[in-house]
Amino acid sequence: MVAHTVLCVDTEDEVGELADALEDDPDLDPVTRTSVADAAAFLETESVACVVTEYDLPDGTGLDVVGTIRERAPQTPCVLFTDVSPADIDTSSFENDIVEYLNRDLPDAADRLGFVVDDVIAHSAQVGFLVPDNEESRLDALEAYDVDELPIEESFDRLTDLIASHFDAAVAFIGLIERDEENFLACTGADWDSLTREDTICTHSMLQEDVMVVEDIDEDKRFAENQQLRDLGIVSYAGANMTTPEGETIGQVCLIDHERREYDADQRAELQQFAETAMEILELRQSLLDAQKTEVEA
């Protein structure tokens, strides 16, 4: 299992003690920085699972560090580990940013810090994922398709077989993105049924109009700490939106490989065409089902 990287930000005199409080936990890998500027420079190139910061820093405050990580990875949990009283901290613009406050002057503060960090990382993994602004109308559009009643399994199986072969990809799948998970209607190359929204890359891909490509998840801050993706052997990803005629994105057609991979403009366009084909199949099957129901009612 890959240890979670935790960025520890404190003064030069105290940062070693802060890191020591986490080093005994095999699930945590603390790295240290001693200023807001150094922390920001680190976050420019590296991903972290959590930030633990002192409030008083040489060139600013711990809230400046929080603001920096929020710009790059808004779901990353932060812990303010300080002897400064909450009454003396202006948190008016950071109401939801500090996941936890722990007074470092408490007798058991150092021992408790590891438990706090483990907990906020786990909580973030359970609930932290971005949703589009039109999430409710998108879900309504998805609900209009009677997926369980539609005879689409064989068609989609053939389509993912074709997609995997065309791109010489390890895995190709068609997934519908529901409120809390992505359900795979067809998957060639792997035996996957579903992934939670917080784990699937499609949660991010669906927010883009164009095909989204992640050449290597280790180099992408959004996914480098995602243990579920690692467990599935996912290294590279390409995903194209399945969009209804009304413009609602309800699913994805995706390619997965177990090694780093790039996709040129032509390949991205072809993947989008496959996604449009999947949507057309879904539309056709739903239209036929609606016609049959109307005929029966008549």
Give the pLDDT mean for 218-233. Answer: 84
Residue 260 structural domain: 135-297
* Same domain assignment for residues 11 and 119: yes
Q: Is 145 left (phi over 0), alpha (psi -120 to 50) or beta?
A: beta
Mean pLDDT of the chain: 88
* Same domain assignment for residues 120 and 140: no
List the beta bridge partners of residue 79: 52, 100
Could you tell me which of 128, 120, 34 has the C-alpha nearest to residue 73?
A: 128
pTM of the model as a whole: 0.62
Number of domains in the chain: 2
- In contact, 160 and 275? CB cutoff 8 Å: no
User: Among 104, 127, 150, which residue terminates a domain?
Assistant: 127
* Same domain assignment for residues 165 and 279: yes
- Lookup: tokens for 48: 């972290």
* Same domain assignment for residues 110 and 211: no
* Same domain assignment for residues 290 and 225: yes
| Least confident span in 125-134, 136-145, 183-192, 245-254 | 125-134
Residue bearing tokens 């907990």: 119
* Same domain assignment for residues 78 and 187: no
Res 126 pLDDT > 50: no
CA distance 270 to 275: 9
User: Among 127, 145, 166, which residue terminates a domain?
Assistant: 127
Residue 100: pLDDT band (50, 70, 90) is confident
User: Among 74, 104, 127, which residue terminates a domain?
Assistant: 127
* Same domain assignment for residues 167 and 54: no
Amino acid 149: pLDDT:
74
